[in-house]
Structure 1
Amino acid sequence: MTEAEAVKAMLSRGARPIEPFPGTQPPWKCLCLTCGEVSAPRYNDVVNKGTGVCSKTCRSLKIAAKLIRDGAPAAAVMLSWGWEPLEDYPGAGKPWPARCVHCGVIKPKKLSHVQKGRGGCTNCAGRDVTNETARKLMIEADLVPLVDYPGSLRPWLCRCMCCNRVGTPTYAKVRVRGHQCRSCRSEKIADALRLDDEEALSSMLEKGLEPLVSYPGSTDLPWKTRCMNCETLLDPGPTLHNIRGIQGGCPTCAERGINPARPGYLYLVVHNGHRALKWGIANIEQRITQHISQDWELVSRWNFDRTGDAWAFERQIKAWIRSQGISRALTADQMRYGGHTETAFLADIDLDLVQKYIESLTGRRPEPPPMP
């Protein structure tokens, strides 16, 4: 076959070749004389198999033409699934505004989806959640949201109406389990673990602590004690709830950790060398000293009566920053004293914006810097 014969065959079928004839099997770039777009059909497919010469707009139009159906049968299908069309049938594969005959919600539905069994109403099924409906459910569960609805599985900063403390439950858990508050839960656990005087005394002695006053009557109340190992006076002392867990007894002898029931603070520090921002919480001054020793600079600090409240705000800050697609700036190897998961590059987020966001969350300005 000559090139002239191949070109003539393609022209007769509505395509003008724009490159030399490559043979009957390889793709051959041609200009469609109908839509004006360039595609690459094979000569053998077009001439011997009878396929179209255009794989672009013309092919799409042919497929759509085969799927076109009358509006009346299409509307009947929609009604059979509980959807009342509000406009004329737009065509196959296109959204069709319709109203649910059960709840009245209006949604764009595709006829093909409805026909495949995906025509259920998400509003009737309770899966459509707005900020208003989510806030209503949280308030009914004695939780007052402090920020807008973040999503069903994301931490939601709320204030408990029972204990007035701040926490970050998720909408999904509250919807299934009802009231969710760490502080209230701790009190319930403390009530369940309440001991008599003899059992309480035995628990303290097992941890090497000598009580100096009578048992306060609750596992969640501080108990004045003396360490039998280092003679340190603990006043206020540990609670039975804490020493019966992994926290241990004497803070001088044991590893230090954050006690959510004690006063603490939320802080912001920056590192000019790494060009990084870090946020965190603590209830010992040594934490800031550790950062300063590694060339971090204290920017702002917010004090709290309970470190647990500071932790709730810290978690919300992290969720807010990560929701903007901002990832951590440093690795664990770059931070000797830990905390790399609460970092971000200053190039990715504005420091003043973070401070204003924290002020809006906490409802307070940061503490004034210490006098030199």
Structure 2
Amino acid sequence: MTEDEAVQAMLDRGTRPLEPFPGTQLPWKCRCLTCGEVSSPRYNDVVNKGTGVCGKTCRSRKIAAQLTRDGATAAAVMLDWGWDALEDYPGAGKQWAARCVHCGVIKPKKLAHVQRGRGGCTSCAGRDITDEAARQLMAKADLQPLVDYPGSLQPWLCRCLRCGHIGTPTYAKVRTRGHQCWSCRSEKIADALRLDEEQAIASMLEKALDPLVAYPGSTELPWKARCMTCETVLDPGPTLHNIRGTQGGCPTCAERGINPAKPGYLYLVVHHTYQALKWGIANTEQRLSQHLSQGWELHARWDFDLTGDAWAFERQVKAWVRGQGIPRALKADEMKYRGHTETAFLSDISLQLVQKYIESLIGRSPDVPPKA
């Protein structure tokens, strides 16, 4: 390409070169034939890419033209964001008086801010509410503020005028949901969950349990009962909370899990790779086989006529170990067949010490003693 051809190409596109042609990829000082401003576009950008020849006034006008909206379009955008324009569109970047369609407050807004999500109503958000107005709203909700208004989203120390308790609801939550009080809420939930004795007995009978004493009055208290299927007396019995949940009724009749009325055993196993020990109970040999298949080795075992007795010892072992501040060794995903809550690292407590403690509880040596 000759310099004359390059110059003509730039002239055809509205700019006059002011210096020799530097090449297609380098800035070339030119004067715009439209506005007269001097800038330095690249030949390749102007001719091959079609970008503008003027980087000054013409470029600014082009951008402004792209951003310019007519008044109707601008007003529609404002309305979409919750603002009703009260005057003609003043232009981009200028304050525009508008009314909030939700609360009616009039605010000066900029179209660009509203479009970018920065044009929310501070009155609706409670940020420009006065202390007096905030107190009036709280009083209507039976709440007495004890300190100055801290802001709509901050805890506000108040006294409940219904029960007298002190709490810290927020202005925003009270404005949206009404009365807020932890004490009143707790009583409301308790009333909804409270059962009379007839309803409580019906719940027990649904799970084939015959209550042997009067309803203790709480869903969290054990209730002595007799299983109507196997005649087992459950003392202490299940809580009504568990009965009405998914835990069922009589553990002796349970189709899954450990049956406390059947023979079982307490075991102590060790995993040398994990450098951890584990204790547990079971009804069947399958449970122990599951652990052995995962690399655990049997260290000791105590057999019982009733698994319920082994269960009591297992709980005591756990309380003793955890009471010394020793954490569990493994996580749930590290044990395919569960039982991670009954583990401890050998570095925290020795296998022999745990065995000795179990022997002291049960009063006898293991039925399956450690290997020599």
TM-score for the superposition, normalised by structure 2: 0.39
TM-score for the superposition, normalised by structure 1: 0.39
Structure possessing the higher relative contact order (Cα contacts under 8 Å, 6 or more residues apart):
1
